[in-house]
């Protein structure tokens, strides 16, 4: 029994939209968040008890989550690119 293969125009559009979101802004926004987090982590810029908590706990945890999110978005983008190439090579037109 053959596996079902289906690629609608809607699927192609969704793949392109996800890639566009990842490439066009989301990863840039993550980088901007990182830059601002680093700035706020500098005690010469912001200091006090809450700033200390931010530096020691909040930002490191958030930075780890942002790095993981960026890595997963990069993997998603790569996977979608492979899918798009497979659609084209199978005669999907793209």
Quote the pTM value: 0.76
- Reading the chain (94 residues) residue by residue, the pLDDT tens digits are 667 767 778 888 898 899 899 988 888 899 999 999 999 999 999 999 999 999 999 999 999 999 999 999 999 999 988 888 877 776 555 4
Q: CA 68 to CA 1: how far, in whole Å?
A: 39
- CA atoms of 65 and 72, how far apart (whole Å): 10
Any idea where the domains of the chain sit in the sequence? 18-40+48-87
């Amino acid at each position: 029994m053959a596996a079902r293969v289906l690629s609608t125009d809607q699927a192609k559009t969704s793949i392109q939209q996800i890639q566009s979101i990842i490439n066009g802004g989301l990863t840039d926004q993550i980088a901007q968040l990182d830059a601002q987090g680093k700035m706020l982590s500098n005690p010469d810029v912001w200091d006090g008890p809450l700033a200390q908590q931010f530096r020691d706990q909040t930002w490191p945890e958030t930075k780890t989550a942002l790095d993981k999110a960026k890595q997963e978005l990069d993997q998603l983008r790569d996977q979608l690119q492979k899918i798009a190439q497979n659609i084209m090579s199978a005669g999907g037109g793209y």
